[in-house]
Amino acid sequence: MKKTLILFLAIVFAITACKSKRVGYTLLGDGTPYYPYPERLIGKVQTVIEKNYWAIPDGNSYKKGKPLTQADRDSIGGWTLDFEANFDNSGDLLSCNYLDENGKIINKYEISSEGKHSVIGKKTAKDTVSFYDKYKLDKNGKRVGFIRYEPLTDTMVGTFDIKDSWRGDTMEYNLVNSKGESRYKIIILFNGLEQFVRSEGYGKDGLFRFANEVTYNDKGKISELKIYDKDKNVTGINYFTYEYDQKGNWTKAIVKDGINKDITVIEERVYTYFENYTPGTWYMP
């Protein structure tokens, strides 16, 4: 979904895993293209596949055109990749495969548990491990940060720490390098429904670098996304309209660029659900 943020792409994972215990929904965020603006999927989702296409005007709406290629993404200043995310029965992400326009895996992030108190995340590209993460867990098994390692030398790259505000409406996410020097900080803000509403990035000098801000429609889906630069100017706006499946998860999104009016993209999703999902028995966020 949508325009990408370079700094966010450098830090993936663990922001939303720490937010709260899921009740009746699957969180599409950590380790996927949605980590900057996590999305709640209704019910027990087993897999979700998302693909992006150029939108062709068709009367009062749009129809699907050619798949978005990597060259297309570069030409429009960045757009999230196609992907396939896989979850276990408790809603935890098992893996996310990032795909090209032909469905070929470009890279992937996989998570595994090595005993009750050990969780490992690993990014692989072209059969080569790019990095791996050892998660720090509290006594309840909640992720409260991780340490990233360079695989060839097995040396620490940096430490990522996360802390919540006492009200639960703010998370602070810090990166410290192997020398103990602060590199940057991300502040994540949530509304009363525990939905992500804004993120702010700060450099090692403490100065503001960027922000994401979203608003939601009446079904709890993102209707508008704004991206701000270091001068707090709006550099990206996306507007969203949807079609939904019977469970209330969107299957088609028409995404319009609010700055470059020539850019409109159709995103399509296919879901599989665990069979024990029963409509009407789940909490609707």
166-213: pLDDT as tens digits: 676 888 888 888 888 888 888 989 888 878 899 899 999 999 999 999
Alpha-carbon distance 43 to 155, whole Å?
40
pLDDT on residue 258: 92
Residues 50-106: tens digit of each pLDDT: 999 999 999 999 999 999 999 999 898 888 899 999 998 888 889 999 999 999 999
Confidence of residue 284 (pLDDT cuts 50, 70, 90): very low
Q: How sure is the predictor about 256, in pLDDT bands with cuts at 50, 70 and 90? A: very high
160-164-165 Cα angle (round to 5): 140
- Binned at pLDDT 50, 70 and 90, residue 17 comes out as very low
Is residue 193 exposed (0-12), middle (13-18) or buried (19+ Cβ within 10 Å)? exposed
pLDDT at 282 over 50: no
268 pLDDT tier (thresholds 50, 70, 90)? very high
Q: How many CB atoms lie within 10 A of CB 257?
A: 19
In the prediction, which pLDDT does 29 show?
Answer: 83
Q: Yes or no: say if 176 and 182 are a contact pair by the CB < 8 Å rule.
A: yes
* Residue 72: DSSP 8-state: H
Nearest-Å Rg of the Cα atoms of the chain is 19
Exposed/middle/buried for residue 100 (C-beta within 10 Å: 0-12, 13-18, 19+): middle
Single pTM value for the model: 0.83
Of the ranges 24-28, 39-43, 152-156, 253-257, which one carries the lowest mean pLDDT score?
24-28
